[in-house]
A and B are shown apart, each in its own frame.
Chain A
Amino acid sequence: MTLLEISDLKTHFPTQSGIVRAVDTIDLSIRERETFGLIGETGCGKTVLGLTLMRLLHPTTTVEGTIRYRGKNLLTISEAEMRLIRGEEIAMILQNPTTSLNPVMRVGEQIAEAIRLHQGLRRRAAKEKAVEMLDSVRIPAASRRANEYPHEFSGGMKQRAMIAMGLACDPALIIADEPTKGLDVTIKAQITELIKETAKEKAMLLITHDLGVARALCDRIALMYAGELVEYAATEEIFENPLHPYTRGFLGSLPGNGLVPIPGMSPSLIDLPDGCRFHPRCSHAKAVCRKKHPELIEVEAGHFVRCFDA
């Protein structure tokens, strides 16, 4: 069963120096209870995609296409309807927990306020539920911790609190933006484990740089480059049979594979190269790659690639 279906999605920011095409024609669908990984270099538009799904971008942003969630087009419903979906149906765990928690509000209260809003619980009951949530993400002495401020939490604990906040109203879909970034190895393993448990019952869009985490958690993985998807398939298929040079490069930069970074830099989203967006950095680039923009084609059942070579 498809939970979320994105088609032809474009998110453009008009700025003084030109239009930033942060998300440029994305099609993908997420099934119920599926964990879908979104991978890509920094600045390729992953966070913007997440925020677009939540409709959290500034009103001056142009968003086109459709986002169908359980039959509703999220881009056309009213703001009031959208607010009921945020947090309750789709929750987003923003990247960087240190700046994403309100520094002058107790952590418990930050979780409880969403519960009060969406589940109509009284203050006391919501507070108890918040403690429960903190406990469920394995924060020790949760009832005491709930009364503390974010700066009293360690990095890992802040991330747990963010996850608890996302889970608080039992949403059907969670968008988790780089939940393991900046954590040391043991903490990362714990958080990964925690996400794995959560992901069993929920659909999740997991945005990450970390291929190891993606492999451990995701059912399917998509690679994003300069605002568009360049390849997606089931996790094992991506790792066993990567077809796009960008995917291969990305896998090659894994510590286990010799840490060879992809040469060059991602293009400016204002001034994208003609033809294939990856061609300036691609060692297999041919004449056609410079001229024509490749389409995303299904090379095998469920394996999509945007490359003339595949």
Chain B
Amino acid sequence: MIEGRKILGSVGLGILAVFVIVAVLAPYIAPYNPHQMSRPMEHPSSRHLLGTNDIGNDILSEIIYGTRVSLFIAFVVSAISMLVGTSLGLIAGYFDKLGFVIMRVVDIFLTIPRLPLIIVIAASMRPSIWNLIAIFLIFGWTMTARIIRSEVLTLRSRYYIDATKMIGGSDCYILWRHILPNVIPLVVVQFIMEAIHVIFTEAGLSFLGLGDPVARSWGMVLHYAFECPIIYVSDVWMWWMLPPGLCIVLTVLGLTFVGYALEETLDPKLKSPAYGRGL
């Protein structure tokens, strides 16, 4: 099992590394500018490895640039969400009264179903990457804040934090020096969870046509393919639908494997054998 965890984690990291490299080097790898038009609906050939779409863009280039869009949104949203969520979680765990208020807000956010609200908001805004990021951020921080808070509460009850307080350590110092380092592993796992969530939701919104029509993500490529009336008639789906779809699947799979490996390593409850605990 220990070996299996390591293998899965490495496979996941490998997949993610490939996508990150593609995203960063997109302009050098992509054979065409994704907005450049040539003959529409061309089948794969040596000139267009994955053919062209209904308005003549090179699909391979679209997908390569799409990697940028999808990963960028996921990364920015997850990073900011972790920053906000962790800060609020730390504060909520450390200051009781403020914590109570923050947690009630979190409760409400977690009860309201995310996806319908996100769709309604996205539909009433001009679709753009930045608007999408803003919408995802509304909910992104909530779960992290809750998880971090409960961890802080556990940590707080450990004696050394009280001891520091007695010799006059300031609250900020305690949060920074003693509590933060202990919650970092949790934050990393949460980062991955949030990234998976954002990749999925962004792809979904885009599939419904609510993504950025200019900076097209994988989901948006799929949207245009799905909207094309002859998509199922011939084999067009093979180069227009399969590749962007598989990109989403592989990215999520990579993140899932890394997250799973981390979680197994970190969670002592899952680590111990199924019985024989609590003696």
Q: Which residues of A contact B (CB under 8 A)?
A: 13, 16, 47-48, 51, 57-58, 60-61, 99
Contacts and interface: CB of A to CB of B under 8 A. Distances in A.
Contact of B278 (A13, A48, A60, A99): A99
A97 B2 CA distance: 34
B108 interface: no
6 contacts: A13-B276, A16-B2, A48-B279, A58-B274, A58-B276, A99-B278
B273 A58 contact: yes
A56 to B, nearest CB: 8
B275 A58 contact: yes
B279 A47 contact: yes
Contacts of A58: 273-276
Contacts of A51: 279
Interface of B: prevailing SS: loop
Contacts of B274: 58
Nearest to B273: A58
Contact of A60 (B2, B273, B279): B273
A57 B276 contact: yes
A61 B273 CA distance: 10
Which 3 A-B pairs rank lowest in CB-CB distance, beginning with the nearest?
A: A58-B276, A58-B273, A47-B279
Contacts of B275: 58
A51 B276 CA distance: 9
Contacts of A47: 279
Interface string B238-264: 000000000000000000000000000
A46 B275 CA distance: 18
A98 B64 CA distance: 59
Interface of B: 2, 273-276, 278-279
A16 B2 CA distance: 10
Contacts, number: 13
A209 B244 CA distance: 66
A222 B27 CA distance: 77
Contacts of B278: 99
Contacts of B279: 47-48, 51
B187 to A, nearest CB: 24
A48 to B, nearest CB: 7
Contacts of B273: 58, 60
A58 B273 CA distance: 7
Given A47-B279, A60-B273, 10 more contacts: A13-B276, A16-B2, A48-B279, A51-B279, A58-B273, A58-B274, A58-B275, A58-B276, A61-B276, A99-B278
B270 to A, nearest CB: 13
Nearest to A94: B279
B268 to A, nearest CB: 11
A99 B279 CA distance: 11
B159 to A, nearest CB: 16
Nearest to A50: B279
B277 to A, nearest CB: 9
A46 to B, nearest CB: 10
Nearest to A59: B273
Contacts of A13: 276
Nearest to B279: A47
A89 to B, nearest CB: 22
Contacts of A61: 276
Nearest to B2: A16
A181 B279 CA distance: 14
A160 to B, nearest CB: 22
Nearest to A46: B279
A55 to B, nearest CB: 12
A13 to B, nearest CB: 8
Nearest to B276: A58
Contacts of A48: 279
A76 to B, nearest CB: 21
Contacts of B276: 13, 57-58, 61
Task: Among B274, B275, B279, find the residue whose CB has the most chain A CB atoms closer than 10 A.
Answer: B279
A13 B278 CA distance: 14
Nearest to A43: B279
Nearest to A61: B276
A182 B128 CA distance: 63
A51 B2 CA distance: 27
A94 to B, nearest CB: 9
Nearest to A95: B279
Nearest to B278: A99
A99 B277 CA distance: 12
A51 B275 CA distance: 12
Contacts of A57: 276
Nearest to B271: A16
Nearest to A177: B279
A112 B2 CA distance: 41
A99 B2 CA distance: 30
A255 to B, nearest CB: 26
B267 to A, nearest CB: 14
A13 B275 CA distance: 13
A292 to B, nearest CB: 31
Nearest to B275: A58
Nearest to B277: A58
A306 B273 CA distance: 34
Contacts of A60: 273
A176 to B, nearest CB: 15
A58 B271 CA distance: 14
Contacts of A16: 2
A95 to B, nearest CB: 8
